[in-house]
Amino acid sequence: MTRFFVSPEELGNDNIQLVGENASHAKVLRLKAGEQVLVCDGEGREYLCAVVDQSWNLEVLERRESDTEPAVQVSIYMAFPKADKLE
């Protein structure tokens, strides 16, 4: 499913309009009316939406908390190579 990331200020009550880069991506993906997409607000919530028309209006079908964050934290360390091997 296609996922779009928008700022919380761009969210409406029951409708969302994709603008700027998100609208360009929707056009390239050739989304049709009735297709479902996920819209994330960056604050832990996601919205299941349906495309209404080609001006990239979306109708919010469902609001829910995003559960995509992993339960385990991972730290990655890199050892520095000797001499000029880093390049």
Q: In whole angstroms, what is the distance from residue 54 CA to residue 37 CA?
A: 14
pLDDT by residue (tens digit) across 8-59?
888 877 888 899 999 999 999 999 999 999 999 888 889 999 999 988 999 9
* pLDDT value at residue 80: 79
- Residue 71: both structure tokens together: 């339960």
* pLDDT value at residue 86: 63
* pLDDT value at residue 44: 85
CA distances from 38 to 18, 26, 74, 77, 80 (A): 12, 12, 26, 33, 41
